[in-house]
Chain A
Amino acid sequence: MKRSLLVLAVLALAMTLVLSGCQKKVSETIKIGVAGAHSGDLASYGLPSVNAAKLVIEDINAKGGINGRMLELFIEDDQCKPELATNTASKLVSNNVIAVIGHICSGATKSALGIYKDSKIVTISPSATNPPLTQSGEYPNFMRTIAPDDAQAKLAATFIKEKLGLKKLAVLHDKGDYGKGFAELVKESAEAMGIEVALFEGVNPGAPDYSAVVNKIGNAGVDGVVWGGYHPEASKLVQQMKDKGMNLPFISDDGVKDNTFIEVAGKYADGVYATGPTDTSTNPMAIKAVADHKAKFGDEPGAFFLNAYAATVAVVNAIQKAGGTDYDAIVKALRSEYVDTPIGKISFDAKGDVIGFGFSVYQVQNGKYVELK
């Protein structure tokens, strides 16, 4: 008797779920998610994207939205942690977003992408540069407004060979998806160009002391050091190298091409090379975006702000061109239409990599990153 009551109860519950399921679908706003590190030690990479998306959405909504439908943002934090990113993704999916700007770090992006793929949600990252994210072809829903690491690594290797003329390198990384990926690609390209990689090692991120590995660099007799990773370790490495009187060229990636690096490393930062997205700050849209940011948030925008701005503009444009929120139509529009953004006139290739925007080499000179032409 009791059991049959229970079965009845479950059935009743299931019915209400089905019914409420039927009532969905009619949503007033077009929902867009923003995901990335909004807290934790990498928050400085993620928060600018939130501001960028807010600015674009406000702009569009002020003009009456897309075909009369307003845009609505859903902001979720993943702290750049892959294990949190799946939760973040599930939350956004259950909010019925049709596109996501994010995530920020490659590892987190990778773990979230499967969920978006299954739910047919377009995902555009402003900063995840790990090559297989697009090149594996596994995620047709994924695009990015930043060039992949191998473009960055090839540029770094070419720069090392042609401009610096180095012959023997030490390549270090932080064992993470991003840092190790960059380091491996630099090693590959450098060896293909006939540069010897005498040392290739991962170090523990966050360790207080790198003097042992710095000794090892000294012992290997290299004439340059490549670092794949982020700025906290990079500044400890350059500091401990210079303290030991080693003045080797230090070449790194766009995880280091951030003003936080110069603030933390101080005088030790001078002379450090880093590859990073080409400076587009003279682009009129970029000037407007930065001015809007200052007006609304009161300060200069941070890392990947323009990339995130471009990603949001591209999504909005694709929805307009697609005439609705149909996944296939949006993807088609993203791949076929060129759109004016703060990083230039961009589109996406069949794999999801951005067309019309790339990397440059920078050097810290007198406490500022200067683009080397």
Chain B
Amino acid sequence: MDYFLKLFLSGTAKGSIYALIALGYTMVYGIVQLINFAHGEVYMIGGFVALIVGGFFFTLGLPVPLVLLLSIIASVIFSSAFGFTIERLAYKPLRSKTRLSALISAIGISIVLQNFVLLAQTEKYLSFPSYLPELPFLLPVREYINSTQLIILATTSVIMVALTLLIKFTRMGKSMRATAQDKHMAQLVGVNINQVISVTFVIGSALAAVGGVLICSYMGQINYYIGFIAGIKAFVAAVLGGIGSIPGAVLGSFILGWTESLGTGYISSDYEDAYAFIILILILIIKPDGILGKNQKQKV
């Protein structure tokens, strides 16, 4: 039972890591129906910005919490700018074309950004300092969960609630839902869809940046390629939970985390990816739109 609890908690921690990235994925998809493959790269860039800015402020001798705050702010601003620019450059010109064009454009952007960081920064793995505080009350139970894991879990929950509130109850949220339902109609009733889509990308990228800082702190390392691997898993999680649904992304991520963790613990870690994809296939057979996805009739 003790072993099960440990595995369950490590699955939860893993799930919250996936969720942090999956939230941005699913939000962009929910509003513009575009799988933004460059999302993982924005997350990676967020991590790099935090590393650079954090390093700078550390040398100035600022206290760690202040450094953390400043580097999160810097990476949120930087990543949001990236998200905004990517949308304007690579997706907006293709908005009236088939969805496939934007998808390929997204893959292209992902490759461009990876190689940009590879050339502009380094091909090496770099050490990422732990910006997150060590919570003393967790020390006795550190075999089960540690501070960083708890902070990531808490952040994920807060972001999920905040996003849901934003979409359900604010004016911007209403415009987002209108844009998601029918772009042309929304435009006719006076919604500035360019603005709405830009805001969506900015929020999605800001989330990725927060994810970048927290997850890199947890891993203790960073590399230009981390966005790709994390992006794939987060994408699976988002599809599992029903892509486009905010709570679905979190639920899907947890299911993925638990499956991988328990599969590793009780069977073997050799087939970790296999468990994840078996679950994905099973759920898609039973419920093709994902666990919390809405059944949308598509015109063919």
A residues with CB within 8 A of B: 39-41, 43-44, 175, 201-204, 206-209, 211-216, 218-219, 231-232, 235-236, 239, 243-245, 260, 263-266, 268
Stretch in B56-64, B67-75, B160-168, B219-227 with 4+ CB within 8 Å of A: B219-227
Partner of B225, one of A41, A209, A216: A41
Is the beta-carbon distance between B125 and A264 smaller than 8 angstroms?
yes
Q: How far is the CB of A209 from chain B (nearest CB, A)?
A: 5
Using Cβ atoms and an 8 Å threshold, which residues of chain B touch A245? 142-143
B80 near A: Cβ within 8 Å?
no
> Interface majority SS on A: helix, strand, loop or mixed?
helix
A129 to B63, CA, bound (A): 46
Using Cβ atoms and an 8 Å threshold, which residues of chain A touch B220? 235-236, 239, 264-266, 268
Partner of B146, one of A40, A201, A243, A264: A243
Is the beta-carbon distance between B219 and A208 smaller than 8 angstroms?
yes
Is the beta-carbon distance between B223 and A232 smaller than 8 angstroms?
yes
Is the beta-carbon distance between A204 and B143 smaller than 8 angstroms?
no
Is the beta-carbon distance between A208 and B218 smaller than 8 angstroms?
yes
A211 to B150, CA, bound (A): 13
B215 near A: Cβ within 8 Å?
yes
Using Cβ atoms and an 8 Å threshold, which residues of chain B touch A175? 270
B243 near A: Cβ within 8 Å?
no
Using Cβ atoms and an 8 Å threshold, which residues of chain A touch B230? 208
B residues with CB within 8 A of A: 3, 6-7, 10-11, 13-14, 17, 118, 123-127, 142-143, 146, 149, 215, 218-221, 223-226, 229-230, 260-262, 264-265, 268-270, 272-273
Sorted nearest first, the 3 A-B pairs with minimum C-beta distance are A211-B10, A212-B261, A212-B264
Partner of B269, one of A39, A40, A202, A243: A202
Using Cβ atoms and an 8 Å threshold, which residues of chain B touch A268? 220
Q: List 6 A-B contacts (CB under 8 A).
A: A40-B123, A43-B123, A209-B17, A215-B265, A244-B143, A264-B126
A201-B269, A212-B265, A212-B269 given; A206·B146 CB < 8 A: no
Apart from A201-B270, A207-B229, A264-B125: 18 A-B pairs, beta carbons within 8 A? A40-B123, A202-B270, A204-B273, A208-B14, A208-B17, A212-B10, A212-B14, A212-B269, A216-B264, A219-B265, A232-B125, A244-B142, A260-B124, A260-B125, A263-B127, A264-B126, A264-B220, A265-B127
A202-B270, A215-B6, A243-B142 given; A208·B265 CB < 8 A: no
Is the beta-carbon distance between A39 and B265 smaller than 8 angstroms?
no
Using Cβ atoms and an 8 Å threshold, which residues of chain B touch A202? 269-270
Using Cβ atoms and an 8 Å threshold, which residues of chain A touch B215? 208
Using Cβ atoms and an 8 Å threshold, which residues of chain B touch A231? 125
Q: How far is the CB of A278 from chain B (nearest CB, A)?
A: 25
Q: How far is the CB of B8 from chain A (nearest CB, A)?
A: 10
Partner of A39, one of B123, B126, B229, B270: B123
Is the beta-carbon distance between B142 and A212 smaller than 8 angstroms?
no
Q: How far is the CB of A206 from chain B (nearest CB, A)?
A: 5
Using Cβ atoms and an 8 Å threshold, which residues of chain A touch B149? 211
